[in-house]
Amino acid sequence: MDPHEVRAELARSDAQELLHSPSPARLAYNGPDGLPRVSPVGFLWNGEQIVVCSATTSPKVRALTSRPDVALTIDVGNTPADAKALNIRGRANVEIVDGVPDEYIQAAAKSLGEDGVGDFEHAVRETYEQMARISIHPQWARMYDFGAGRLPSSLAALVDQAQARAASGNEDSH
């Protein structure tokens, strides 16, 4: 997917809604043993990258340092009518920083709100001397809205085939 297409997909209003939502993302990567892993993570979209922060001792930090290719999804909805998902693929860059990155606090504020973030910030600043700041630069992105019919191409093809069969069956009955 070329960079212009990625930017256009991420600029969609429904994609922006998910990128700024308090919902966690699910980060998929290959672990230190080479086997796939998925981890729910808090995140912050800064307009160009998804930023995830973690303890420097986290297995994902070690894994992403040697295997930076990742996939990430942010999804909402419990029924087909309201199910939406933003899928992203990219490369992670791990940077060890002193203290707590501001993005970590900003990401937490999305779900904790302004009233709850103060105690959280105090606790994490007391806990972490350093953190891993993981920035993910999207190289591919796709927004799906199942209720609106914006489906993965494989599923859309099945729906089209089913509709064609139904239409030909209706023609045969006339």
Give the chain's domains with CATH numbers: 3-149 (2.30.110.10)
Q: Which residue has 């993005």 as its token pair?
A: 103
Distance in angstroms (rounded) separating the CA atoms of residues 99 and 102: 9
What percentage of the chain carries pLDDT values higher than 70? Answer: 89
* CA distances from residue 57 to 39, 93, 96, 110, 131 in whole angstroms, order as listed: 15, 16, 11, 25, 9
Per-residue pLDDT reduced to its tens digit, 128-164:
999 999 999 999 999 988 766 666 666 666 766 777 7
Largest alpha-carbon pair distance within the chain? 75
pTM of the shown model: 0.85
Q: So what's the pLDDT on residue 80?
A: 80
Sequence-distant (6+) residues with CB within 8 A of 40 are 24, 25, 26, 27
Nearest to 52 by CA among 104, 1, 13: 104
